[in-house]
């Protein structure tokens, strides 16, 4: 493995650091390394939007800041905030305003999701975009639903624009897992939504945080359209992507998954230096204990950095309280336990932050092959295994 002190030396790193201030670099995925978390409140999960108790959230934020995180991805629940197509809840907007203030006090930046939608396997569907009454694709094509979406984004922007710690919008948590459409419709909606968000927050960092599937197969948004955006994001889980079919948790398909998916993005972008933000990552391998998860985190991030990934947002901050009914995979994904204990992976996260904090990001000009010849999960995995120089034998 390449030594980091060798990797970061040279005129390019020095020149970048001298040309841009820290604040400027932190706004560019090719500026400095950034580490954050997807925030899951320790008390009442994101149901807390309806049962607002900021004291526990302040304790959560203190614990997250102590790990060295510099940003959080926060998850809105769309029908909680906008229960009617023509009305956005002032109380929920005020709670968002409160959370952004609390984060700013701890020097934590915020990426705000919008159309969620689907979160940790639970679905939160709007009456006016409910699949039981409308086809799923109506989310992307129905003009009345667009009017409701635009209203919601504008009301959120009114709150967000007064907070200097706001990074920008994420369209939602993996909107393609909740609403599907033909890629021609998904791509058209995506471009329209980007135009709206950049109109309202022109200096923001706006992303479409899809899950892995649109990168692996045909699913709502085309690979080329996703890769062409200013900020490309990936969600990397060995379990959900199928990496575990090709080896164990410490084998290349898993520990090189982030690096491989970043290379896949660059192949579709036809740009070997395209900045890539790993916006969600974890193993979701339930059998891994804390030591195993910590080891995977260390190996996966170092592999990713050596292949030019610059921003990392771990899933997630806290374990989920088992009083709530979730897929068992969801309960133990945090860097911290539900009662605030720092887990082994939390300590590894802090060591990574301490090592790379404010380092100028380096995207080596590594050659990328052409994208996969097909748009199926099988052909994409074959492409990834070839890039990893891994024989495609299933375990």
In this model, does residue 23 exceed pLDDT 80? no
Residue 201 lies in a domain: yes
Predicted confidence at residue 243, as pLDDT, reads: 96
The CATH number that applies at residue 238 is 3.20.20.80
Please name every residue paired with 233 in a beta bridge, in sequence order, or none if there are none: 277
Q: Which of 4, 70, 38 is nearest to 360 (CA)?
A: 4
Residue 14 lies in a domain: no
Predicted confidence at residue 24, as pLDDT, reads: 60
Dihedral sign, Cα of residue 262, residue 316, residue 129, residue 144: negative
Residue 199 lies in a domain: yes
**pLDDT, tens only, 256-296:** 999 999 999 999 999 999 999 999 999 999 999 999 999 99
**pLDDT, tens only, 316-361:** 999 999 999 998 889 999 999 999 999 999 999 999 999 998 788 8
Residue 42 lies in a domain: yes
Residue 237 lies in a domain: yes
Predicted confidence at residue 299, as pLDDT, reads: 98
Predicted confidence at residue 21, as pLDDT, reads: 47
Residue 253 lies in a domain: yes
The Cα-based distances of 359 to 5, 55, 354 in angstroms read: 11, 34, 10
- E strands in the chain: 34-38, 71-74, 109-113, 118-119, 122-123, 166-170, 232-236, 276-281, 311-315
What gap in Å lies between CA 115 and CA 173, rounded to an integer? 7
Q: What range defines the domain where residue 158 resides?
A: 33-388
What gap in Å lies between CA 137 and CA 148, rounded to an integer? 15
Please tell me whether residue 266 adopts helix, strand or coil conformation: helix
What gap in Å lies between CA 44 and CA 55, rounded to an integer? 13
**pLDDT, tens only, 47-95:** 999 999 999 999 999 999 999 999 999 999 999 999 999 999 999 999 9
Assess contact for 355 and 35: CB atoms under 8 A: no
Residue 165 lies in a domain: yes
Please state the domain count of the chain.
1
What gap in Å lies between CA 380 and CA 183, rounded to an integer? 18
Predicted confidence at residue 70, as pLDDT, reads: 96
Predicted confidence at residue 2, as pLDDT, reads: 37
Residue 22 lies in a domain: no
What gap in Å lies between CA 277 and CA 269, rounded to an integer? 14
**pLDDT, tens only, 193-230:** 999 999 999 999 999 999 999 999 999 999 999 999 98
**pLDDT, tens only, 363-387:** 888 888 999 998 899 999 999 999 9
In this model, does residue 131 exceed pLDDT 80? no
Cβ partners under 8 Å of residue 185, min gap 6: 137, 140, 141
pTM: 0.92
């Amino acid at each position: 493995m390449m030594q980091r002190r060798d990797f970061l030396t040279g005129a390019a790193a020095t020149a970048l650091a001298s040309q841009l201030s820290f604040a400027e670099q932190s706004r560019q995925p090719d500026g400095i390394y950034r580490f954050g978390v997807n925030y899951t409140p320790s008390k009442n999960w994101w149901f807390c939007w309806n049962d607002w108790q900021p004291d526990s959230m302040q304790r959560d934020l203190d614990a997250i800041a102590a790990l060295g995180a510099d940003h959080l991805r926060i998850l809105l629940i769309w029908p909680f905030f906008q229960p009617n197509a023509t009305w956005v809840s002032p109380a929920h907007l005020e709670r968002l305003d409160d959370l952004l203030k609390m984060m700013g006090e701890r020097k934590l930046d915020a990426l705000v999701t919008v159309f969620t939608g689907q979160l940790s396997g639970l679905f939160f569907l709007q009456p006016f975009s409910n699949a039981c009454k409308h086809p799923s694709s109506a989310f992307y094509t129905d003009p009345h639903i667009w009017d409701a979406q635009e209203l919601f984004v504008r009301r959120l922007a009114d709150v967000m624009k007064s907070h200097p710690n706001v990074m920008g919008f994420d369209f939602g948590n993996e909107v393609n897992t909740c609403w599907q459409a033909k890629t021609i419709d998904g791509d058209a909606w995506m471009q329209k939504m980007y135009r709206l968000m950049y109109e309202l927050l022109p200096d923001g960092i706006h992303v479409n945080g899809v899950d892995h599937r649109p990168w692996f197969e045909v699913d709502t948004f085309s690979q080329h359209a996703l890769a062409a955006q200013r900020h490309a994001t990936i969600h990397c889980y060995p379990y959900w992507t199928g990496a575990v079919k090709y080896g164990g948790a410490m084998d290349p398909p898993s520990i090189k998954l982030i690096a491989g998916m970043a290379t896949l993005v660059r192949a579709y972008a036809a740009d070997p230096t395209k900045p890539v933000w790993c916006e969600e990552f974890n193993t979701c391998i339930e059998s891994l204990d804390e030591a195993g998860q910590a080891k995977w985190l260390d190996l996966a991030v170092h592999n990713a950095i050596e292949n030019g990934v610059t921003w990392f947002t771990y899933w997630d901050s806290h374990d989920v309280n088992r009083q709530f009914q979730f897929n068992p995979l969801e309960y133990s994904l945090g860097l911290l336990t539900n009662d605030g204990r720092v887990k082994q992976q939390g300590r590894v996260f802090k060591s990574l932050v301490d090592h790379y904090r404010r380092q100028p990001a380096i995207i080596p000009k590594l050659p990328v092959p052409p994208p996969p010849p097909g748009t199926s999960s099988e052909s994409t995995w074959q492409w990834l295994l070839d890039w990893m120089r891994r024989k495609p034998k299933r375990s």
